[in-house]
Structure 1
Amino acid sequence: MGYDVHRFEGDVDEELICSICGGVYESPVQAPQCEHIFCVSCINEWLKRGHASCPVDRSHVDGRDLVQPPRIVRNLLARLKIACDNASFGCQAIVKLDALDAHLTTCKHNPKRPVDCEKGCGSKVPLDELLQHNCVRSLREKVNSLEALIHEQGTLVQEQGAKLREQNREICLLKDMIRSLRLSHIGPSLPLEDAERRSQIAHWMINLAPARVSRWGGMISTPDAVLQAVIKRALIDSNCPTWLCNELMENAHERKWPPGLSSLETRQLNRRRYEQYNTKRIPGKQAVVVMHLENEHMGDSMTAFPGLVLIFAHGIE
């Protein structure tokens, strides 16, 4: 929609008048074939109504082909002098058309100009809404906006936390898979022809969750038969192969432990080394397995094949 011609100082050339709205061009564009010029909003509305022709001479017009008018037309428009939009509110300024937007941003008579609340709530309020401004409602809206923002940020933090936990879980699974691949290099303890056993061990180890021992002093070195039976049942329930379960349970007592764990004295001397163990939790029990294939870095004095079962009174996480 063009500018009202009555707002301009002096006469306006007819060549600067939009043939659709009858106002002075606002953001003019030109149809390339017939070279007629229109306000951009006027011609777009015309085309939206299903017309595909120039409203002046009916030649074909495509909205995608509209271009800027010649520079001379733009210069003539820029030199026109126009009254401020806020003339009805008391502004008497007459400015060049190309300076109108800059003037409106600072015009003191602009009813939408933001001003500080006179009651001291800190809000910026449009001038024409100042008398109806309610500080309490405004502050409540600010609080609601802040609460919504805090909730949104909290949701993002939770989502990021969930993603990190999932990534950590995937990393742990990858580590387990890498460790299980080392089963192909277990040496003479398992015959090379016994590929089925290696596959069973790998499958079982991957399904065990990593464990952390927070109280190594709670280790039970001589579990009784009842406790060993309970742990053996937990191993069986975890789908541990029968032959492997039997061998692990053989290593659940200090009489079968390697030299570094064989006595209370050696265990006390080596307590600082326990944190280097890679342990897997026996599901639902205060017990872990220390598999030889995951703990070759500990040396023969701290490991046994195929692994150790360590039972605790407490401290397994």
Structure 2
Amino acid sequence: MGFEVNRFKSEVDDELICPICSCVLEEPVQAPVCEHAFCRCCITEWISTQPTCPVDRQAVTSGQLHPVPRILRNLLARLTISCDNALFGCPLVVNLDSLSTHLKDCEYNPKRPIPCEQGCGMIIPKDELKEHNCIRELRSIIQSQQTNFNAYQQQISELKFIMNEYKRELTLLKDFMRAMRISNPAMRAIADQMERDEVVRWSGTLAPARVTRWGGMISTPDENLQNIIKRSLSESGCPPHIIDELMENCHERRWPPGLSSLETRQNNRRLYENYICKRVPGKQAVLVLHCDNTHIGENMMVEPGLVMIFAHGIE
């Protein structure tokens, strides 16, 4: 649908009128052979029911339409037109090619979004301002958010139920594998491999870490500090079958010979650089897992790995 002719302040040439809607062309396109021009919207709708030119009935499809010549576009651009919001008081008359820019900021636009100054600060259309009630609108928003919140809670409850079912099934599977491992040597090897694979997968989820100050190592962490690290490991997805053993290995009494005393640690400090370390999430601590450090000698490594806690110096 084009622009109504009576909105223009000068006479409009017939070549600028759409034969379908009898208005001034809007987004004009033309047929390829006869070169008749139409509003894009008008001719597209026309062709959807009868693929012919409405003027001379020559066959035409939407894919054959193309923009009108520049001279026709320039003639349209120079026409002067009243604002769409003239009925609401806008006195401006602008060139047709400037109309869309003006309408974005026209202060007479009844749908122009403006902030409520009565206290709620909501952005609402100008023509709805008189009927706007802050309390009613805010109550409506709160009710809508409460509905969404209840729906989210329901989804969370359902997901928790599904997760608990998965955990229960996983526990049953692990119990079964443990029983089979005891009674069947072949199953014992399979179960051991599954557990090793689980550790490798978990290690792949952890961020790499670099120790910049090995002197900040805490070799005898107290129980509270160990519980903090254990909680972090559990939240990171540490396989349950190794978490207790890892935590026992965070104290120097369980460290390998190359780390068993302050003297040996000082002598072997150059070997620390060969460790592949993973970050204990959110803590000044690293994991040196056996699966990541098969290149390290037995005097510097234990199964399933080491937990090293630091006062500082972790990147």
Alignment TM class, shorter chain as reference: 0.5 to 0.7
**CA distance 1:80–1:269, shift in 2 (3 Å):** closer
Q: Is the 8 A contact 1:114 1:127 kept in 2?
A: yes
Aligned to 1:90: 89
Partner of 1:213: 244
Give TM-score, length-normalised by structure 2.
0.53
After superposition, residues 1-317 of structure 1 pair within 5 angstroms as 1-48=1-48, 50-143=49-142, 148=148, 151=152, 201-208=188-195, 210-213=241-244, 270-273=253-256, 298=298
Q: Deviations over 1:286-313 (max 9, x none)?
A: xxxxxxxx999656xx89xxxxxxxxxx
Structure 2 vs 1, CA of residues 29 and 211 (structure 1 numbering), >3 Å: closer, same or farther? same
Query: C-alpha distance in 2, partners of 1:269/1:82?
Result: 87
Secondary structure (helix, strand or coil) at the match of 1:95 reads: strand
1:120 to partner: Cα distance: 1.7
C-alpha deviation, 1:143, in angstroms: 4.4
C-alpha separation in 1, matches of 2:138 and 2:190? 61
Give SS of 2:53's match: coil
User: 1:216, 1:271 within 8 Å by CA — same for their partners in 2?
Assistant: no
Q: 1:76 to 1:144 in 2, by over 3 A?
A: farther
CA RMSD of aligned residues (A): 4.1
One-letter amino acid matched to 1:15: E
Aligned residue type for 2:20: I
Q: Over alpha carbons, which structure has the higher Rg? A: 1
In structure 2, distance between residues paired with 1:98 and 1:112: 22
The alignment's TM-score, normalised by the length of structure 1, stands at: 0.52
The structure-2 alpha-carbon separation of the partners of 1:214 and 1:135, relative to structure 1 and needing over 3 Å to count, comes to: farther
Q: How many residues align?
A: 196
| Structure 2 Cα separation of the partners of residues 29 and 146 of structure 1 | 47
SS in 2 for 1:74: helix
Structure 1 counterpart SS, 2:72: helix
Identity percentage of aligned residues: 43
Q: Distance in 1 between matches of 2:256 and 2:143?
A: 55
Deviation at 1:10, TM superposition (A): 1.4
Deviations 1:71-122, CA, capped at 9 Å, x for gaps: 0000000000001111111111111000111111121111111122131211
Point out where structure 2 has 5 or more consecutive residues left out of the alignment: 171-183, 196-238, 260-292, 304-315
